[in-house]
Structure formats: C-alpha cells, structure tokens
C-alpha cells in the first residue's frame, strides 16, 4: 500500500475536514465533534464540554488558516486516511500535564493520532511519526514530546499514540505521571 504524507496547510483544509467529517470517527461518533481542536482550546474543560462540533470545526479552520494548527495527513489513493496533530509545544493551550515552558529548547509535541478504522494496525501511525520527527529535525527543533496514556483501553483511548510505538522510534520516558507518560526524543 502506497501512503503519502503531507504537512497540513490551508490548501488542504478540505481534505482535513473531509477526514474528520466522513472518515476518522466512523467507529467512534461520540468524539466526532473534536476536529482535533481540544488541545488548542484555551477555555476550561467545562466550557469545552459545551462546545459543538460546528464550533470546533470552524475554530480548526481558523487555526489552520492562521498557521497555529499544524499536523500531517496520510493519504492512500489520494484520500485522507490518517492524521497526526504535531506542533510547536507552545502553540497548544492545553497539554496533559503542567510544566514550565523550557525557553532554552525548541520543542515540538505530538498530541493526537487518528487513523481510519480500515487502515489501523498497518503502520500508518509509525509512518506519520517518522515524518513528524524528520520534519521537526529539519526545522532545527531540539526535542519532540509525546503523551501516551498508560492504560490504553481501546483505539479511541490510544489517541496520543501507543507507548511501544514511541519506544521503538527512539523516544524515552521523560516523566511518568498517574495516567500518562511524557516521552521525549532528541532530534
């Protein structure tokens, strides 16, 4: 299977929206309204829970057009089949742990993977992660961080990416928290 991975840019908004509207959440409609906006939302968790999918969709479009939302789309036969939200760590309003920003290092973060159900367990997340690491290395970043959940109950709950994927790609545990690992890779 040939997979092509493209960095998200404003000219790919239609592909991004098609993926979230029609492909990504076929097997998990309860999460369909996120549009990968959760980590960019600056309000409280209570305010987030009251947001509609339409609001998140519009907000993600605005973020993409402004360059604040970055990530990578995976394609097969010219159709989007996967997504990875990866960005400068400082561009996220929320991360799964509190930490003072390290102003001495340039750090990217991977916060979300979403793979079409029929393409899971075929190496798409690995291809996305390799592309993300190379992209940020080429951009002279010092580190890339990830936040895998300790007890991944399902594909949906494993949206940060699997712990073993990160280990196999050269990440190591930077911090261990109650629910997640904070993992880092030096680029």
Taking the C-alpha atoms of residue 92 and residue 173, their distance in angstroms, rounded to an integer, is 21
Boundaries of domain holding 142:
4-186
pLDDT computed for residue 30 by the predictor: 76
**Tally of CB atoms within 10 A around 92:** 19
- Three-state DSSP at 99 gives coil
Q: Global pTM?
A: 0.91
Mean pLDDT, range 30-43, rounded to an integer? 86
| pLDDT tens sequence across 40-71 | 998 888 998 899 999 999 999 999 999 999 99
Q: Which residue has the higher pLDDT, 33 or 172?
A: 172
Rounded to 5 degrees, φ, ψ at 92 are -95, 135
Mean pLDDT, range 142-170, rounded to an integer? 84
**Tally of CB atoms within 10 A around 61:** 17
CA 125 distance to own-chain centroid: 10
Taking the C-alpha atoms of residue 48 and residue 26, their distance in angstroms, rounded to an integer, is 22
Identify the helix (H) or strand (E) that includes residue 102. Answer: none
Taking the C-alpha atoms of residue 72 and residue 5, their distance in angstroms, rounded to an integer, is 6
Q: How many domains does the chain have?
A: 1
The answer to whether 183 touches 147, Cβ cutoff 8 Å, is yes
| pLDDT tens sequence across 94-129 | 786 666 556 678 999 999 999 998 899 999 999 999
Contacts of 92 (CB under 8 A, 6+ apart): 39, 40, 109, 111
Mean pLDDT, range 155-160, rounded to an integer? 68
pLDDT computed for residue 146 by the predictor: 94
Strand duo 143-146 + 107-115: pairing: parallel
Q: What is the CATH number of the domain that holds 15?
A: 3.40.630.30
Question: Does the pLDDT value for residue 155 go beyond 60?
Answer: no
Q: Which residue has the higher pLDDT, 159 or 131?
A: 131
């Amino acid at each position: 299977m040939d997979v092509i991975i493209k960095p998200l840019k404003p000219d790919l908004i239609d592909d991004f929206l098609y993926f979230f509207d029609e492909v990504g959440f076929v097997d998990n409609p309860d999460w369909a309204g996120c549009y990968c906006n959760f980590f960019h939302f600056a309000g409280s968790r209570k305010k987030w829970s009251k947001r509609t999918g339409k609001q998140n969709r519009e907000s993600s479009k605005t973020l993409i057009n402004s360059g604040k939302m970055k990530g990578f789309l995976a394609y097969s036969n010219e159709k989007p089949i996967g997504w990875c939200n990866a960005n400068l760590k400082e561009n996220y309003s929320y991360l799964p742990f509190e930490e003072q920003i390290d102003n001495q290092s340039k750090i990217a973060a991977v916060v979300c993977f979403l793979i079409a159900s029929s393409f899971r367990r075929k190496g798409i997340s690995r291809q996305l992660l390799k592309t993300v690491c190379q992209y940020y290395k080429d951009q002279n970043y010092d580190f890339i961080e990830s936040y895998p959940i300790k007890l991944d109950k399902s594909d949906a709950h494993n949206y940060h990416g699997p712990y073993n994927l990160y280990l196999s790609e050269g990440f190591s545990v930077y911090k261990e928290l109650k629910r997640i690992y904070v993992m880092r890779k030096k680029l």
